[in-house]
Structure 1
């Protein structure tokens, strides 16, 4: 049976101090950054995915949770890759346990890569046919990562052709002060538009002049240049 120590050993054997420095800058783990206080050891994402592929079947949920609460960023991201694999292959009961584990540990899902690797693949898929009120709670959190989890979870609904919660949370977070939430909302609006441009533009029409510029730019990124300029110039 695999253990947390096995995964940590494999990750440590792949550590690269130079990459760790680059990751620390990229994910703003430096003083004053949104990831301040975190620690990277410099394991690439493809290498982490390979480690996850090696251990996901044999590592217990309890040991995976230990990884998720670790102080090393790559341990937490690898644990999420393991959980996503487990969730995809699990029955309904096990999926519920994985969802609950993630929701109980959102305090350790504390950078955008951790959010974006979990919310659309565990949180959202679990809630597709269930009560989604937990997303309202997350959207009302003072933690930027909770708010991003709420928005990114709606990607699963969008894939199912359901845009209501993307619009609901987009309205609620329309003036969110953090650019990582603004980008997430814009991104999900863009995903709606990739499937139903009319629905996206109906949402944008009464709001695009007041939403943060970065949110708007993300939302209209796939529009043709002329239409994009009309939105940016406020003449739609």
Structure 2
């Protein structure tokens, strides 16, 4: 099997990935809702280890993405340089989104690249299921990872969560719920507004909104969460 390093080219990386193909894992991925048409069945921890070996390379990451192979695309997301990623790059990548796994990994990259202010409203307004999911996955990630960001930034997304809480599509409603819960768990300052929306949604006439609200209320009022919230 080819040895990988920071200067490995796309063909060398693809040959390495194909050598790790695991049919049993492919079947298992399908049970978790991962798109497996182009999958090789390599676990994310293994690919993260590969990403550490090959290092970040922005141009190569675009070439990996273009292969349409599930593992190559995950490696691309791990090895894009967030300092070089632009809003147009993100929009270009989103054209290909067709899996919650890819979306959620890309959302973390976009937050790391600090593109959330532009992309969250843009992607939330997009009618495509996986693009809209990206917006709320970004909110969920930002609530956790942007620890120095003012609470006001997160709270400004509460109306957007409310606006899309009636989208019944599975991958959207779960991400909307995730975003609301993560804002509410950030600290006590965010907890109150998030819980207020959750309680209002829990009694909404729309069944999707009710599900989102009830699930968020359940977590945000749990003793475990209340105990660990910082003043």
Q: TM-score normalised by the shorter chain: which range applies?
A: 0.7 to 0.9
Query: What is aligned with 1:22?
Result: 28
Query: What is aligned with 1:135?
Result: 120
Q: Which runs of 4+ in 1 moved over 3 A?
A: 223-226
Query: What is aligned with 1:215?
Result: 212
> Cα–Cα, structure 1 residues 124 and 182, in superposed 2: closer, same or farther, change >3 Å?
farther
Alignment partners' CA distance in 1, 2:114 and 2:160: 18
Alignment partners' CA distance in 2, 1:22 and 1:79: 22
Query: What is aligned with 1:105?
Result: 93
> Cα–Cα, structure 1 residues 81 and 202, in superposed 2: closer, same or farther, change >3 Å?
same
The answer to whether the Cα contact below 8 Å between 2:108 and 2:138 also exists between their aligned partners in 1 is yes
Alignment partners' CA distance in 2, 1:122 and 1:133: 10
TM-score normalised to structure 2 length: 0.77
* Segment drifting more, 108-117 vs 134-143: 134-143
> Cα–Cα, structure 1 residues 4 and 175, in superposed 2: closer, same or farther, change >3 Å?
same
Alignment partners' CA distance in 2, 1:217 and 1:125: 33
Query: What is aligned with 1:73?
Result: 70
The answer to whether the Cα contact below 8 Å between 1:24 and 1:40 also exists between their aligned partners in 2 is no
DSSP-derived class of the 1:206 partner: helix
The answer to whether the Cα contact below 8 Å between 2:136 and 2:178 also exists between their aligned partners in 1 is no
Query: What is aligned with 1:166?
Result: 157
The answer to whether the Cα contact below 8 Å between 1:48 and 1:78 also exists between their aligned partners in 2 is yes
Q: After superposition, what is the alpha-carbon deviation per residue over 1:173-230, rounded to whole angstroms, capped at 9, x for unaligned?
A: 111121211111111111111123212122224332225244235423423469xxxx
Q: Are 2:63 and 1:63 equivalent residues in the alignment?
A: no
The answer to whether the Cα contact below 8 Å between 2:195 and 2:217 also exists between their aligned partners in 1 is no
> Cα–Cα, structure 1 residues 125 and 155, in superposed 2: closer, same or farther, change >3 Å?
farther
The answer for unaligned runs of 5 or more in structure 2 is 1-6, 224-231
Q: Are 2:136 and 1:116 equivalent residues in the alignment?
A: no
> Cα–Cα, structure 1 residues 71 and 181, in superposed 2: closer, same or farther, change >3 Å?
same
Q: Are 2:9 and 1:3 equivalent residues in the alignment?
A: yes
